[in-house]
Amino acid sequence: MEKFSITTAIDYVNGEPHIGHAYEKIFTDVIFRHFKKRSEKSFFLTGTDEHGIKIQKTAKTLNITPKELCDKNANSFIEAWKLLDINYSHFIRTTDDYHEKTVQDIFEKLLEKGDIYKHKYTGLYCSGCECFLAEKDLDEEGNCPIHGKKPEVVSEENYFFKLTKYKDKIINHIKNNPNFIQPSYRAQEVLNQLENIEDISVSRAKTNVEWGIEVKSDPSQVIYVWIDALSNYITGLGYKVNSESEENYKEFWPVNYHIIGKDILKFHSIYWIAILMALDLELPKSIYAHGWIMIDKNKMSKSTGNVISPKSVMEAFNLEKPDALRYFMVTAAVNGKDGNYSDDDFKEKVNADLANNMGNLLNRTLNMLVKYFDGEIKAEFINNELINETKETIDSVLKYFDEMEPALAANKIIELVDSANKFVNDKAPWALAKNGDMVECGKTLYSILNLMAKVAILIEPYCPNIASDMAKQLKIDVNMKYSEIEDLMVKEGKLITKEEIHPVFLRLDSEIMGDKKKQN
In the prediction, which pLDDT does 146 show? 78
Residue 341 three-state SS: strand
**18 noted as active-site residue:** yes
DSSP 491: P
User: Which 8-state DSSP code applies to residue 298?
Assistant: B
Q: What is the pLDDT of residue 95?
A: 98
Residues 425, 428: Cα–Cα separation, whole Å: 5
Res 512 pLDDT > 70: no
**Candidate list 82, 118, 119, 147, residue with the active-site label:** 147
User: Residue 117's pLDDT is what?
Assistant: 97
Of the residues 25, 70, 129, 311, only one is catalytic, namely: 129
Residue type at 18 in one-letter notation: H
Would you state the pLDDT for residue 319?
A: 96
Q: What is the CATH number of domain 342-519?
A: 1.10.730.10
Is 268 known to be catalytic?
no
Instruction: Give dist(CA 32, CA 404) in Å, integer.
Output: 11
- The yes-or-no verdict on residue 233 having pLDDT over 90 is yes
Quote the CA–CA distance of 106 and 242 in Å, as a whole number: 9
> Quick check: is 126 catalytic?
yes
Q: Is 216 a catalytic residue?
A: no
Question: Following DSSP, what letter does each residue of 64-96 receive, concatenated?
Answer: S-HHHHHHHHHHHHHHHHHHTT---SEEEETTS
Alpha carbons 11 and 77: distance in angstroms, whole number: 8
Tell me what pLDDT residue 292 has.
Answer: 95
Contacts by 65-73, CB closer than 8 A, 24 or more apart: 66/211, 67/95, 69/13, 70/13, 70/95, 73/13, 73/14, 73/15, 73/16, 73/48
Cα–Cα dist 347/415, whole Å: 19
173, pLDDT greater than 60 = yes
129 included as an active-site residue:
yes
Q: CA-to-CA distance for 449 and 510, rounded, in angstroms?
A: 25
Q: What is the percent of the chain with per-residue pLDDT over 70, rounded to a whole number?
A: 98
Q: What is the three-class DSSP state of 444?
A: helix
| Residue 258 is a catalytic residue | no
Out of 21, 25, 34, 443, which one is annotated catalytic?
21
Active-site option among 34, 36, 70, 126: 126
Pick the catalytic residue: 136, 297, 302, 518? 302
Give me the mean pLDDT over the 207-223 stretch.
96
Q: What confidence score (pLDDT) does residue 138 get?
A: 85
Catalytic residue among 299, 481, 494, 516: 299
Question: What's the average model confidence in pLDDT over 175-200?
Answer: 96
299 part of the active site:
yes
What are the structural domain ranges in the chain? 342-519
d(CA 486, CA 512): 36
Instruction: Yes or no: say if 223 and 103 are a contact pair by the CB < 8 Å rule.
Output: yes
- Closest CA relative to residue 30, chosen from 255, 329, 293: 329
Least confident residue range of 48-62, 112-126, 187-201, 282-296: 112-126
Burial environment of residue 249 by CB neighbours within 10 A (0 to 12, 13 to 18, 19 or more): middle
Kindly tell me if the per-residue pLDDT of 513 is higher than 90. no
Query: Residue 510: which pLDDT band, with cuts at 50, 70 and 90?
Result: low
290 carries an active-site annotation: no
pLDDT band, very low/low/confident/very high, at 121 (cuts 50, 70, 90): confident
pLDDT band at 147 (very low <50, low <70, confident <90, very high): confident
Instruction: Decide the pairing of beta strands 41-49 and 11-12.
Output: parallel
The residue annotated as part of the active site, out of 70, 144, 441, 463, is 144
pLDDT at residue 520 tops 50: no
CB neighbour list of residue 466: distance below 8 Å, 6 or more residues apart: 321, 323, 354, 358, 359, 459, 504, 505
Burial 467-504 (b: 16+ CB within 10 A, else e): bbbbbebbebebebebeebeebbbeeeebbeeeebeeb
Nearest Cα to Cα of residue 293 among 8, 26, 100, 31: 26
Given pLDDT bands bounded at 50, 70 and 90, which one contains residue 153? Answer: confident
What is the rounded distance in angstroms from the CA atom of residue 221 to the CA atom of residue 206?
Answer: 5
Residue 61 DSSP symbol: H
